[in-house]
Copies of this chain bind each other. A is one copy, B any other.
Amino acid sequence: MANVKEEILKKVKGWAGYVDAKLGFRNHWYPVAFGKDIDEGQPQKIKLLGEDLLVSRVNGKLFCIKDRCLHRGVSFSVKIESYTPETITCWYHGWTYRWEDGLLSDIITNPESIQIGKQRVKVYPVQEAKGCVFIFLGDIDPPPLVTDVPPTFLDDDMVICGQNKIVHSNWRLAAENGFDPAHIFIHKDSVLIKGNDLALPLGFAPKGDAKMRTRIVEDDEEQGAKGVFDLLAEASVPVFEGKIDGKVVRTGNFGHNRVANNISIWLPGVLRVQPFPDPATTQFEWYVPVDENSHYYFQTIGKRCASPAEEQVYMEEFNTKWRAMALDGFNNDDVWAREAMVGFYADDEGWLKEILFEADSAIVDWRKLCSKHNRGVQTQEHIKA
Contacts and interface: CB of A to CB of B under 8 A. Distances in A.
State the copy count for this chain: 3
A336 interface: yes
Interface in A93-113: 93-94, 96, 105-113
A346 to B, nearest CB: 10
29 contacts: A71-B354, A71-B356, A73-B350, A74-B337, A84-B249, A91-B186, A92-B183, A92-B186, A93-B180, A93-B359, A94-B185, A105-B244, A106-B244, A107-B357, A108-B203, A108-B243, A108-B249, A109-B182, A109-B184, A109-B185, A109-B202, A109-B359, A110-B203, A110-B206, A110-B239, A110-B357, A110-B358, A114-B358, A353-B384
Contact of A92 (B72, B108, B337): B337
Nearest to A75: B340
B243 A355 contact: no
A5 interface: no
A63 to B, nearest CB: 17
A206 B186 CA distance: 65
A93 B182 contact: yes
Contacts of A347: 384
Contacts of A249: 83-84, 108
Given A106-B243, A108-B203, A109-B202, 20 more contacts: A68-B344, A71-B356, A73-B344, A84-B249, A91-B185, A92-B183, A92-B186, A92-B337, A93-B182, A93-B185, A93-B357, A94-B182, A107-B357, A109-B203, A109-B204, A109-B359, A110-B204, A110-B239, A112-B205, A347-B384
Contacts of A119: 355
Nearest to A247: B84
Interface in A325-373: 336-337, 340-341, 343-345, 347, 349-350, 353-359
Contacts of A180: 93
Interface of A: 68, 70-75, 78, 83-84, 87, 89, 91-94, 96, 105-115, 119, 180, 182-186, 202-206, 239, 242-245, 247, 249-250, 336-337, 340-341, 343-345, 347, 349-350, 353-359, 384
Nearest to A74: B340
B353 A89 contact: no
A260 to B, nearest CB: 15
A94 B350 contact: no
A204 B119 CA distance: 20
Specify which of A113, A183, A249 lies most central, judged by the most chain B CB atoms within 10 Å of its CB.
A249
A74 B344 CA distance: 7
A70 B114 contact: no
Given A111-B205, A112-B206, A183-B92, A344 B242 contact: no
A45 to B, nearest CB: 13
Contacts of A349: 384
Specify which of A83, A89, A343, A354 lies most central, judged by the most chain B CB atoms within 10 Å of its CB.
A83
